[in-house]
Amino acid sequence: MSSTATASVFSLSFGSSLGLRRPLTPRIWTLIGGLSIPLWATWPALSLATRDMPPLECLTIAFLVGWCILSRLEGRPPGSGAAASPASSWIPAVAFALGISGSAGFFLWATRYIGAAQANLITYLWPAMIVAFGAILGIFRLRPRHVLGIALGFFGAAILIGVGPLRPSYPGIGFALLAGASWALYCVFRLIWKGETGRLLTRGFGLSAILCATLHLLLEHSVVPGVASAAAAVLIGIAPTALANLAWDRGFRSGDSQLLAVAAYGTPLCSTLLLATLGLQPFTWQLLVGAIAIVAAGLLSRTQT
């Protein structure tokens, strides 16, 4: 299917839910996909407002809100018609739920020990982790630029470990690395998976809400959140969860995927600048150097030339 035809299909399915009658052009879809970057960048700042809630309780609310929104907006995947999706199409949804729940959960736990900016930037080692995991599994060959990207990424992480008012924390660093690894493993799975994905986002966030709610009841004590915390959890479900991922999915499929892939590596830098602007994180030269190193590592670690 050509890019123009693909754009038309997605415009009709996604655009109809927004009340649009004309198909959107690939350029417009690229702009829509680009909106995901500032939306994702709000995640660390919003997460700090939920600190009086257990992490899994917060994520249960966020993923439930995301599921409610996406169940209305995502629509059917192109070419699905009226036929029921095969049972195997749930496999990527389960993998997505595990990846996004692990990434978000471990990130929230990391912020209990280290600053949100440090945790977010260390988490964004996931592009370099994809290269490492992919090379181990034989998905692609490890090239010199990949090795440089991995080294540069961990150099940036090493700088970030000592940044901020908190002392270096091995649990915080470990949780941040696990957050990145969770998402990297999901991305590797998507490189391997060749079957149908169905309504990936709607199913994935629904399963994530169930998973986090179950783990919350087993591992945490429920609290009645304050108005600010509850509002922040809902906003997490709306902005960096539902709208950001839907915009990225549609923009990446129907717009300029190469341009979006490069632009996405600026997300951790945007989130760091937002934290500093809001006074939630002191902006130091170490933070800037670490952010630039990890963004550069992501660019070098791209598996496509």
In this prediction the pTM is: 0.81
Digit-coded pLDDT (tens) for 245-289:
999 888 888 888 777 777 777 788 888 888 888 888 777 777 777
What pLDDT, in 10s, does the model give residues 161-213? 655 444 567 899 899 999 999 999 998 898 888 877 778 899 999 999 999 99
User: Among residues 109, 132, 133, 131, which one has the least CA distance to residue 119?
Assistant: 109
- Better-scored residue on pLDDT, 22 or 8: 22
What are the domain boundaries of the chain? 3-78+86-300
As a whole number of angstroms, the distance between CA 293 and CA 299 comes to 10
Question: pLDDT at residue 52 above 70?
Answer: yes
- Which of left, alpha, beta for 86 (phi over 0: left; psi -120 to 50: alpha)? beta
* All residues at 6 or more sequence positions from 270 whose CB lies less than 8 Å from its CB, including other chains: 37, 38, 41
What is the rounded average pLDDT of the residues 214-242?
Answer: 95
The token pair that represents 159 in the structure block: 């700088």
